[in-house]
Amino acid sequence: MEEVRTFLLKHAEEDLLPWKHQSFASTHFGLSIGQVERIALEAGLLPSRYQRNRKTISLANQLRLFRSHAAVIGCGGLGGYIIEQLARLGVGRITAVDPDVFEEHNLNRQLYSSPATLGRPKVEAAHKRVLEINPAVTLYPLKVAFSKTNGFDMLQGVDVVIDALDSIPVRLELAEVSAEVNAPLVHGAIGGWYGQVATQFPGENTLRKIYSRNTDGKGVEKGLGNPSFTPAVIASLQVAEACKVLIGQGVPLTNRKLHVNLLEMEVNEIPY
Amino acid sequence: MKVTVKLFATFRAGRFGEQTKEYSPGTTVGDILNELSLPLDEIGATLINHRHVEEDQLLKDGDTLSIFPLVGGG
């Protein structure tokens, strides 16, 4: 380990570690890119890919993100963008859960869908993509439907859970299991021009309150479907929340929900 | 009594964004949902002056009732 550390320090440019040296160290010392990234960050070196993060996210927090584990439940419209942004942000471990394969009606918005991935599992496409864009990140693909029965094992030890589901009853199960494993939950939902975001910490009951009137129905998405931009907007707001939860900065969206209307460009806050 | 009703997102289509009008005393939130043909299974939240209320809540002069639809897609 000391040998790797010395190598990285020697080849760093000031405190930045260029990709070619990170990649060489991985092959040379027989370590994963992720293992090299951890040694670099612990030695006070920032992999160069994160240099535009650093005024927003300190090196210490970059290490915190690398040591973090996020679970993304649902890999469709919201989930694709969420996984992409978590991986680029440098969150070290991502569990991605979705039982589905890509279908043609996903192509208008789901980031990892393409004619080539039609019929392929969504979690498989996510896995491949993350490996391509940031091989320091480990993505655990789970091609299963999340439920209260299998959820506990999936979420145990996770630092943040991100809701990218398309079903209200399953969302409520996700909120329940997140509370059980003591993990913060970042909720997002979309429909047409509209979307919403909220963050729930263990002990809070926000999701249950948000869906208190209708626990088994569908929302505006039933009649409206989803265009390309709404999932990207809401997913980005969710990743900003997840990032803050992981590094303990800023003011999270707790005990309130943002309701976003892209048609009339209005954002409303609803207290819970 | 004068009550302001604010509708959000899809509920505005064919209706309005905000409307203040005269209602008779004893009007409840449910009465207004009915009057506006807003189906209960599509309602996400109803608030009077930023406080969550149920259908049986009575309105008072000067109240603002906000009605949001349910959003659940991903």
Would the CB atoms of A194 and B10 count as touching at under 8 Å?
A: yes
Residues of A in contact with B70 (CB under 8 A): 168, 211, 213-214, 217-220
Query: What is the nearest CA distance from A24 to chain B, expressed in angstroms?
Result: 40
A267 vs B: CB within 8 A: no
Would the CB atoms of B74 and A217 count as touching at under 8 Å?
A: no
DSSP states along B7-57: E-GGGGTTS-SEEEEE--TT-BHHHHHHHTT--GGGEEEEEETTEE--TTP
> pLDDT tens, A211-265?
998 777 788 888 889 999 999 999 999 999 999 999 999 999 999 999 999 999 9
Residue A216's pLDDT is what? 77
Domain boundaries, chain A: 2-62, 68-271
> pLDDT tens, B19-60?
999 999 999 999 999 999 999 999 999 999 999 999 999 999
A74 vs B: CB within 8 A: yes
Q: Note the Cα A71 to chain centre separation in Å.
A: 7
Residue A127 has pLDDT above 90, yes or no: yes
What is the average per-residue pLDDT within B63-73? Answer: 96
Residues of B in contact with A168 (CB under 8 A): 70, 72
Domains plus CATH for chain B?
Answer: 2-69 (3.10.20.30)
Query: What is the nearest CA distance from A250 to chain B, expressed in angstroms?
Result: 24
Residue A254 near residue A206 (C-beta atoms within 8 A): yes
Give me the interface pTM, i.e. the ipTM: 0.93
B45 vs A: CB within 8 A: yes
Residue A86 has pLDDT above 80, yes or no: yes
Residues of A in contact with B30 (CB under 8 A): none
B22 vs A: CB within 8 A: no
Q: Terminus-to-terminus CA distance in chain A, angstroms?
A: 49
Residue A124's pLDDT is what? 98
> pLDDT tens, A135-185?
999 999 999 999 999 999 999 999 999 999 999 999 999 999 999 999 999
Candidates 3.40.50.720, 3.40.50.970, 3.30.565.10, 3.40.720.10; CATH matching A68-271: 3.40.50.720
